[in-house]
Structure 1
Amino acid sequence: MTFKENYEHWLKSEYIDENTKEELTGVKNEKEIEDRFYRDLEFGTGGLRGVIAAGSNRMNIYTVGKATQGLADYLNKNYTGEISVSIAYDSRNMSKEFSERSASVLCANGITVNLFESLRPTPVLSYTVRHLKSKAGIVVTASHNPKQYNGYKVYDEDGGQVTDKAAKEILDCISAISEFKNVKTMDLEKAKEDKLLNIIGEEVDKTYIDKVKALTIREELVRNSAKDLKIIYTPIHGSGNIPIRRVLSELGYDNVFVVKEQELPDGNFPTASYPNPEQPSVFELALKLAKEVNPDVIFGTDPDCDRIGVVVKDKEGEYRVLTGNQTGVLLTHYIVSSLKELNKLPENGTVIKTIVTSEMTRRITEDFNVELIDVLTGFKYIGEKIKEFEKTGSNTYLFGFEESYGCLAGTFVRDKDAVIGATLICEMALYYKNKGLSLYDALIDLYKRYGFYKESLVSLELKGKEGQEKIQKALENLRHSMEDNVAEVKIVKSFDYKLSIEKDIINNSQSDIKLPKSNVLKFILEDGSWFVVRPSGTEPKMKVYMAVVGKDLSDADRKSDDFNKAVMEIINNACNN
């Protein structure tokens, strides 16, 4: 149906409440109505994400209910016997309501639900699915998006986000629901009486925290010296406050100073319009506190506590926000070097990164004779590899990370985990402090040893139907009309992850890419620089990742500026031709 027909359908439906209809009749701008109704909110491999508002292309109890009915139909179709689903939610506006609507729909379909009593980090949900042997999991969050957004991520029985095949099957089930009357609901009190709804909390939290503590590598160091590390932490109004402070306290980190103005959960994020630890501005209050505390390390987590950003002091006394790549290479080196020193590095040890993550990782893993595996962007692909290793015994997972501030050690969680990240970052900072070094000193030492790598990201926001069309057009232009050089430096390799083709331009040969298909392009140049173009899976954006290698910091900065300018000129031409 057209967007106007869809709009009228909502206004006339007896299953849509009067407040929602009143909101819709108050929208006078036809472009706004079109954007709300030209499609159903897309269920991708990560689930749903969108602006909270009425409409089929928005996050509301009706779109969440429909998605959950589709998930229920998928589970009842694929499993027999008792089926359970675990549900968590973060601090965002409507997160609790959306989680309760999800529970209501699942229970109405005869599926048992384990619902957390209050907000929890996304990685705790990933752990809970496996711990309680659920067939699926749901976490209501929009991660680091602005306050207008919320989302709904679906996890499989292994605790990882559903990957392409399962997501398509769930989408087919959702698409088959044509009427609101086909979405079943159940009163939650009745669901509790019928033993279909279990409220969970501390009994799960304790086992999770114990497993996080067990990831400590240098136990004696932490036991004897944790009290000496001075830490500033900001939860940025999210779900990390209680679990991170708890695990650090139980490990003996007594000097943890929390940014009071950002401590309590608040879906309006009053001190951070974009609650993302990738953004230096979210640390302004932490840096103000740092003048009083003089910490060894500062870190912050996003609302659902799966991403972590780190701030360290350089030689001049200036605080610097590390990139996700910088934190990731520091942790990679710390983990593999510590395991080697302690004679605990397995022969088949493996690190996993995404195709847009720093190639400096490769230099480190080669140095320690550790295998490095690349996967598509999205932590679900790292989780998928962990599952594969478990089945085959071919590799021992050591660590995985992506440039967008997500990392994971251990295998009891199958998604990025900022609680684990915080624990390892504190241990690493403590180790270097005992050597008279800051984390920034350690990073510079790694650059001197492996090369001065610099990565950057530009996100082009292209909203609405026209924006989506422009993104697709740009990728097709680059796919078929890309020049053979960037600023007179030759392209030596190209990777088309949609067509699954890797081209070696120097040797005029090509091979198959053994990864799932994705509309992503990567180009590698003669001097080691590279760039990747991909549409965001969760936001109306096209992302351009760029990387260079310099002789020193200033050379890397200069190269990065020149390279980024040349690449963005190519991208803008592709968007507008």
Structure 2
Amino acid sequence: MEKFVLENYNKWLTSDYIDLKDREELENIKTNEKEIEDRFYTNLSFGTGGMRGVRGVGTNRINKYTIRKATQGLANYILEVAGDKGKEMGVAIAYDCRIGSEEYALNSALVLAGNGIKAYLFKSLRSTPELSFAVRELKCISGIVVTASHNPQEYNGYKVYWNDGCQIIEPQASGIVNSVNDVTSFDQIHIITKEEAIEKGLLEYISEDIDTDFIEAVKRQIIHHDIPGKEDFKIVYSPLHGTGGRPVKRVFNETGFKSVYIVAEQEQPDGNFPTCSYANPEDPAVFKLSIELAEKVGATICMANDPDADRIGVAVKDENGEWIYPNGNQIGLLLMNYILENKKDIPKNAAVVSTVVSTPMLDVVAKEKNVEIFRTLTGFKFIGEKIREFEEGKYDATFLMGFEESYGYLVGTHARDKDAVVSTLLIAEMAAYYNSISTSIPKELEKLYNKFGFYREGIIAVTKKGKDGVEAISKIMSNLRNNVTDSLIGKKVISKRDFSLGYNGLPKSDVIQFVLEDNTYITARPSGTEPKIKYYFCITEKTEASANEKLAKTMKEFEAFVD
């Protein structure tokens, strides 16, 4: 074990700043060198959107001390760029159902208050899109949401937003990162008690009026208000133990969906996620209880949100009685197509914003519909940035919708982050409308494929934990960057897009994309929030069977190549 690791460990073990309970946790790992190294070999990275990690005591863990450090860095940045005005504007704070979230959110508020910056704190858990909404409604300079999205239950995280309700981008992103990194000791952190913060008017709990305003903004995105049979159209919904239950149930009730069945076992918020330790709506396994309920009540659609309610997954029953799980690209295509075919008064300069790893089929469909597509780097903050640029007149474009292949969608501009509340409502509306005209989501998806070709997408996510994992991921990216030139998996490389050098005007990013001679797309991207590297694949064929076969073959060959 390296000397500095042990020094960091002993510093925390003996510091009066660390609570006695937390020092006892460190005492318990005294003979476990591997655990000490993993907790203290580095500081938990505060990236360009925030940080995410395993809960625990240590510099490389999420805990109230690393949360305080991050918030002190944010406070220093606010004071530097906005001074007294920033203090008055304040920061909105929300948190989800995860273990520690409420404590971390309160600690964030008390550090801000300790720096004279007003903190607006939700009284109980709220969704990420509502935090985005609240930042602009309250005219705050910044926002914080404590969440680890869909990660396993041992994780938590911290995301930062700026005054437009969007996750931080440049120049705020690097400015805040540098400011956080400049906080190197506990005595640089200013924190006061909850009672003192309230007494000084520096901690204010957010009124439930914001909830109503958010719901009303979501409801304004409805396209068909009067759908025959809507009240009787059966829907199964699950918040997966997260924050979506209350707002989604409310919006369903207020828009005339009266036959909504909630999965009782997953309705209450619970950071232990007892029925689905990986509460990720991308995973068909989370729909087990939903489908059991759907079969019992006769529903043909199930929807589930992730814990902070910014993403949605769907299961639908096809005409053969089989349950299918549309992927994130398919849901986005269906939603875009539904909006374009049914929404009135779509502006001539309407634009859809997606990412460089989302399906190329999007461009083909949009072209036929005379809608412009804007591509951004992965991360919904870049889609939020485009909304702002549209509004500022940088482009002659009006935002229609945005989506990521990772099951995140936004319709409307009430939020500047993906919003599963509005997405759940509109997907329910789409399903009910199609049912009223004797079609369905599976049939409409089939129509798109028959018209535009059978596109298939796949993802391989490889987790490599710890210090060795970081080095392994770096080596993989270096090999792809330097050693793949003319061909890949036996096919000619038509285009090699190295985003680390900048591509098509986008910011530099550690992403590399290969377009092969048969219109196959392969993209490699290390995760910015997890110890993972992800490989994205997209192929196209003339038939469904050949497309499925080609995708499986492509993924298998590439995986063997990387190994």
**Contact 2:294-2:300 at 8 Å conserved across structures:** no
* Residue aligned with 1:211, SS: helix
**Contact 2:132-2:165 at 8 Å conserved across structures:** yes
Q: What residue number does 1:509 align with?
A: none
Task: Report how far residue 154 of structure 1 moved.
Answer: 0.3
How many residue pairs match? The answer is: 556
Task: Report how far residue 225 of structure 1 moved.
Answer: 4.0
Q: Distance in 2 between matches of 1:382 and 1:229?
A: 33
Q: Distance in 2 between matches of 1:458 and 1:213?
A: 36
Task: Report how far residue 83 of structure 1 moved.
Answer: 3.1
Q: What residue number does 1:381 align with?
A: 382
Partner deviation per Cα, 1:177-224 (whole Å, 9 max, x = no partner): 221121111111221122111111411000110010010112333xx5
Q: TM-score, normalised by structure 1?
A: 0.95
Q: Does residue 1:58 correspond to 2:61, yes or no?
A: yes
Q: What residue number does 2:426 align with?
A: 424
Partner deviation per Cα, 1:116-143 (whole Å, 9 max, x = no partner): 0100000000000001000000000000
Q: What residue number does 1:94 align with?
A: 100
Q: What residue number does 1:214 align with?
A: 220
Task: Report how far residue 72 of structure 1 moved.
Answer: 0.5
Q: Does residue 1:323 correspond to 2:327, yes or no?
A: yes
Letter in 1 for 2:332: G
Q: TM-score, normalised by structure 2?
A: 0.97
Partner residue of 1:169 out of 166, 175, 185:
175
Q: What residue number does 2:232 align with?
A: 228
Q: Distance in 1 between matches of 2:472 and 2:452?
A: 39
Q: What residue number does 2:8 align with?
A: 6
Q: Provide structure 2 residue ranges, at least 5 long, that are not aligned to the other structure.
A: none
* Residue aligned with 2:530, SS: coil
Pairing 1:221-300 to 2, within 5 Å after superposition: 221=227, 225-300=229-304
**Contact 2:349-2:397 at 8 Å conserved across structures:** yes
Q: What residue number does 2:543 align with?
A: 552
Segments of 4+ moved more than 4 angstroms: none
Q: Does residue 1:476 correspond to 2:482, yes or no?
A: no
* Residue aligned with 2:60, SS: coil
Q: Does residue 1:308 correspond to 2:312, yes or no?
A: yes
Letter in 2 for 1:372: I
Partner deviation per Cα, 1:418-472 (whole Å, 9 max, x = no partner): 0010011011111211121121111111111111111000001111111101111
* Residue aligned with 2:456, SS: strand
RMSD: 1.2
**Contact 2:242-2:269 at 8 Å conserved across structures:** yes
Letter in 1 for 2:347: P
Q: Distance in 2 between matches of 1:466 and 1:269?
A: 29
Q: Percent identity?
A: 47
Letter in 2 for 1:180: F
* Residue aligned with 1:493, SS: strand
Q: Distance in 2 between matches of 1:98 and 1:569?
A: 42
Q: Distance in 1 between matches of 2:318 and 2:525?
A: 33
Q: Does residue 1:29 correspond to 2:32, yes or no?
A: yes
* Residue aligned with 2:299, SS: coil
**Stretch of structure 1 that moved more, 14-23 or 89-98:** 14-23
Task: Report how far residue 234 of structure 1 moved.
Answer: 0.5
Q: Does residue 1:46 correspond to 2:37, yes or no?
A: no
Partner residue of 1:454 out of 453, 456, 459:
456
Task: Report how far residue 26 of structure 1 moved.
Answer: 0.8
* Residue aligned with 2:500, SS: coil
Task: Report how far residue 167 of structure 1 moved.
Answer: 2.0
Q: What residue number does 1:357 align with?
A: 358
Q: Distance in 2 between matches of 1:519 and 1:90?
A: 29
Q: Distance in 2 between matches of 1:213 and 1:483?
A: 50
Partner deviation per Cα, 1:279-329 (whole Å, 9 max, x = no partner): 111000001111111213210000000010001011210111111111111
Partner deviation per Cα, 1:397-433 (whole Å, 9 max, x = no partner): 0011011000001011000000010011011111211
**Contact 1:226-1:251 at 8 Å conserved across structures:** no
Q: Distance in 1 between matches of 2:506 and 2:428?
A: 34
**Contact 2:236-2:263 at 8 Å conserved across structures:** yes
Letter in 1 for 2:68: G
Q: Provide structure 1 residue ranges, at least 5 long, that are not aligned to the other structure.
A: 502-512, 573-577
**Contact 2:48-2:177 at 8 Å conserved across structures:** no
